[in-house]
């Protein structure tokens, strides 16, 4: 016979967890963010480009012991993310899907960390909404989360972790103790790793340091633990710079002119609206041209109201938000806001401020609905604006026809435009080595093609560079075998000819 306890257990009705409209909205938006990324991956927006392929090639090299401290061809850009990609490749194999899974996963981590920060300074509702905003808004960064650029998402996660650890330190009941020392060490390590990944982490580290000092300077004795941890995290950057004459401090060539005041104006007119989803990446077109001023004003009011509602507990987040444009304007590349890569570090703090402005679940649901609508509209408008162009022609999303044709004709070495070369290198896993005619990131590939007795030359069929190369060969009386495959044109000259040797044949 069943025991009395078993009988009582059967007699008691089971408690059901209530399903609230808020919980349904959270689940729906989380799923919508994942579905949107899958849609992007299967559209022209999800096509792999050469910038991503370089990350994949670095990860493939990592697996064979060829580890680099910085991104190929640059004096900045850490390779922590490439290490993660290499680990994924070790498990799932080298593929475009495996490569793109890393930034998607890191964007989810960024959303979760933002929610954790929200729990420290606001209500669970605000925390959940802020995390979801980072996950689904704006369309620019939803798309960006499917692009493996090497270090942006990893550095963003580290920057949010810095704020979270600073809050834990500042809100702890005791100033000392092992837990506090451990938090300081972790903060320093995250700051150091983040600096290795990208100097943009100073957008967060500087306000966090000011806040910790101002809130209780006696707690800052923990810098004794943070400093060596930061040096440890930044050690790859330090090692590379010591070996290369501190080139990382010299800066990169400035592509966009303008000084500090100009950068501030660009931030207000184009940068912030891009982060808020009101302007489209690359084209910088307003989503609603007739109402853009009114919508921008409403968005600014929402951010300001949310910043006020965060109150004393959210002072650090507000400080990061307010200081961002002034710190951002210091960087030489701050005038370049078309793609939004240098503004990504503003996203979590804008999301937290916007989420705090939603005082009830009904308002939160409306805010999330607006964010999803803005992202969807932005992605539609970005559809034909993100693919790279070569000689005025959009680079095809699929390279299968070219790669099969190269195999069929026994071509293993070739020259091509940057936006073609590294994509073929990644897809073929080194079976075919194509070096870019300009903007080379990896000298070994250039050397391999230059040493080949019969390298091919690859163009987009029917472009001006294709025609110029054919005419140049004829003018020099150089014979060549030419074959086409879909949108591709390939020459195999009787002797090595680099497209840059012929006027008009190279961009």
Q: Which of 206, 136, 104, 107 is nearest to 355 (CA)?
A: 136
Residue 6 has what pLDDT? 54
Q: pLDDT confidence of 253, banded at 50, 70, 90? A: low
Q: What's the residue count for the chain?
A: 507
**Backbone φ, ψ for residue 484 (5° rounding):** -120, 155
Residue 178 has what pLDDT? 84
Residue 217 has what pLDDT? 79
- The pair of three-digit structure tokens given for residue 37, joined into one six-digit string: 């990324």
Helix (H, G, I), strand (E, B) or coil at 484: strand
Q: What percent of the chain has pLDDT over 70?
A: 93
Q: pLDDT confidence of 386, banded at 50, 70, 90? A: confident
Evaluate if residue 361 carries a pLDDT over 80. Answer: yes
- The pair of three-digit structure tokens given for residue 347, joined into one six-digit string: 């996203």
Q: Which of 206, 210, 178, 176 is nearest to 191 (CA)?
A: 206
Evaluate if residue 252 carries a pLDDT over 90. Answer: no
CB 46 within 8 A of CB 36: no
For residue 130, give every residue at least 6 positions away whose Cβ sits within 8 Å of its Cβ, in sequence order, or none: 114, 115, 117, 118, 348, 351, 352, 354, 355, 356
Evaluate if residue 20 carries a pLDDT over 50. Answer: yes
Q: Which residue has the higher pLDDT, 236 or 333?
A: 236
For residue 287, give every residue at least 6 positions away whose Cβ sits within 8 Å of its Cβ, in sequence order, or none: 277, 278, 279, 280, 295, 374, 377, 378, 381
DSSP H helical segments within 392-438, as ranges?
A: 400-408, 418-428
Q: 């004096």: which residue's tokens? A: 75
Evaluate if residue 93 carries a pLDDT over 90. Answer: yes
Evaluate if residue 313 carries a pLDDT over 50. Answer: yes
Q: Which of 339, 251, 284 is nearest to 49 (CA)?
A: 339
Over residues 196-215, the mean pLDDT reads 94
Task: Return the number of other C-beta atoms located less than 10 Å from residue 90's C-beta.
Answer: 13
Over residues 208-222, the mean pLDDT reads 88
Residue 220 has what pLDDT? 83
Residue 334 has what pLDDT? 73
Tens digits of residue pLDDT in 112-135 = 999 999 999 999 999 999 999 999
Report the distance separating Cα 66 and Cα 78, nearest Å: 15
Report the distance separating Cα 331 and Cα 325, nearest Å: 10
Q: pLDDT confidence of 387, banded at 50, 70, 90? A: confident
CB 343 within 8 A of CB 198: no
Evaluate if residue 11 carries a pLDDT over 70. Answer: no
Tens digits of residue pLDDT in 459-507 = 999 999 999 999 999 999 999 999 999 999 999 999 999 999 887 777 6
Q: What percent of the chain has pLDDT over 90?
A: 74
Tens digits of residue pLDDT in 54-70 = 999 999 999 989 999 99
Q: Which residue has the higher pLDDT, 174 or 152?
A: 152
Report the distance separating Cα 156 and Cα 184, nearest Å: 19
Q: Which residue has the higher pLDDT, 245 or 230?
A: 230
Over residues 232-238, the mean pLDDT reads 96
Burial class (CB in 10 A: 0-12, 13-18, 19+), 326: middle
CB 63 within 8 A of CB 90: yes
The domain locations on the chain are: 21-382, 393-501
pTM: 0.92
Residue 166 has what pLDDT? 96
Report the distance separating Cα 440 and Cα 429, nearest Å: 18
Q: How far apart are the first and last CA of the chain?
A: 87
Residue 9 has what pLDDT? 47
Evaluate if residue 411 carries a pLDDT over 60. Answer: yes
Tens digits of residue pLDDT in 130-142 = 999 999 999 999 9
Tens digits of residue pLDDT in 419-461 = 999 999 999 998 999 999 988 999 999 999 999 998 999 999 9
Evaluate if residue 1 carries a pLDDT over 50. Answer: no
The CA-atom distances, in angstroms, between 261 and each of 269, 325, 331, 342 are 12, 11, 12, 17
Residue 258 has what pLDDT? 72
Residue 259 has what pLDDT? 82
Evaluate if residue 250 carries a pLDDT over 80. Answer: no
Over residues 384-411, the mean pLDDT reads 91
Evaluate if residue 3 carries a pLDDT over 60. Answer: no
Give the CA-trace dihedral at 125, 127, 133, 134, to 10 degrees. Answer: -170
CB 122 within 8 A of CB 78: no
Residue 320 has what pLDDT? 97
Evaluate if residue 413 carries a pLDDT over 60. Answer: yes
For residue 307, give every residue at least 6 positions away whose Cβ sits within 8 Å of its Cβ, in sequence order, or none: 314, 318, 321, 322, 353, 356
Q: Which of 59, 47, 49, 61 is nearest to 445 (CA)?
A: 61
> What is the chain's mean pLDDT, rounded?
90
Name the CA radius of gyration of the chain, rounded. Answer: 26
Evaluate if residue 416 carries a pLDDT over 50. Answer: yes
Helix (H, G, I), strand (E, B) or coil at 479: coil
Over residues 304-329, the mean pLDDT reads 94
Q: pLDDT confidence of 14, banded at 50, 70, 90? A: low
The CA-atom distances, in angstroms, between 168 and each of 119, 179, 229, 437 are 11, 10, 17, 51
DSSP H helical segments within 64-95, as ranges?
A: 80-92
């Amino acid at each position: 016979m069943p025991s009395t306890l078993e009988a009582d257990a059967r007699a008691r009705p089971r408690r059901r967890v209530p399903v609230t409209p808020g919980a349904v909205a959270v689940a729906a938006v989380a799923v919508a963010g994942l579905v949107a990324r899958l849609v992007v991956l299967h559209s022209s927006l999800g096509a792999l480009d050469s910038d991503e392929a370089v990350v994949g090639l670095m990860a493939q090299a990592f697996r064979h012991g060829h580890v680099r401290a910085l991104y190929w061809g640059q004096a900045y850009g850490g390779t922590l993310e490439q290490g993660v990609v290499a680990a994924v490749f070790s498990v799932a194999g080298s593929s475009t899907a495996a490569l793109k899974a890393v930034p998607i996963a890191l964007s989810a981590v960024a959303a979760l960390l933002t929610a954790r920060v929200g729990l420290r300074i606001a209500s669970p509702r605000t925390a959940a909404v802020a995390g979801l905003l980072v996950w689904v808004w704006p369309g620019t960064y939803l798309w960006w989360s499917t692009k493996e650029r090497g270090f942006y998402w990893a550095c963003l996660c580290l920057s949010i972790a810095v704020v979270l650890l600073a809050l834990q330190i500042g809100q702890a009941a005791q100033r000392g103790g092992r837990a506090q020392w451990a938090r300081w060490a972790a903060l320093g390590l995250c700051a150091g790793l983040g600096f290795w990944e990208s100097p943009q982490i100073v957008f967060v580290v500087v306000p966090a340091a000011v806040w910790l000092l101002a809130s209780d300077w006696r707690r800052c004795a923990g810098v004794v633990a943070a400093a060596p941890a930061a040096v440890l995290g930044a050690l790859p950057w330090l090692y590379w710079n010591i070996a290369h004459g501190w080139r990382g401090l010299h800066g990169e060539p400035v592509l966009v002119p303008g000084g500090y005041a100009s950068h501030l104006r660009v931030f207000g007119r184009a940068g912030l609206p891009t982060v808020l989803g009101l302007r489209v990446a690359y084209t910088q077109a307003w989503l609603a041209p007739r109402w853009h001023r009114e919508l921008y004003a409403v968005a600014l009011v929402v951010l300001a109201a949310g910043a006020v509602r965060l109150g004393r507990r959210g002072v650090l987040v507000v400080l990061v938000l307010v200081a961002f444009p002034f710190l951002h304007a210091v960087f030489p590349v701050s005038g370049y806001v078309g793609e939004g890569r240098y503004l990504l570090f503003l996203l979590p703090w804008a999301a937290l401020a916007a989420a705090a402005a939603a005082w009830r679940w009904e308002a939160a649901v409306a805010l999330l609905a607006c964010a999803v609508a803005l992202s969807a509209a932005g992605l539609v408008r970005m559809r034909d604006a993100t693919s790279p162009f070569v000689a005025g022609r959009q680079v095809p999303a699929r390279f299968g026809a070219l790669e099969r044709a190269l195999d069929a004709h026994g071509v293993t070495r070739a020259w091509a435009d940057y936006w073609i070369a590294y994509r073929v290198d990644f897809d073929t896993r080194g079976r075919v080595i194509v070096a870019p005619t300009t903007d080379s990131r990896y000298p070994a590939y250039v050397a391999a093609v230059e040493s080949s007795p019969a390298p091919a030359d690859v163009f987009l069929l029917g472009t001006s560079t294709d025609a110029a190369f054919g005419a140049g060969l004829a003018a020099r009386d150089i014979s060549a075998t030419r074959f086409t495959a879909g949108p591709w044109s390939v020459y195999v000259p009787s002797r090595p000819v680099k497209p840059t040797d012929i006027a008009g044949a190279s961009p």
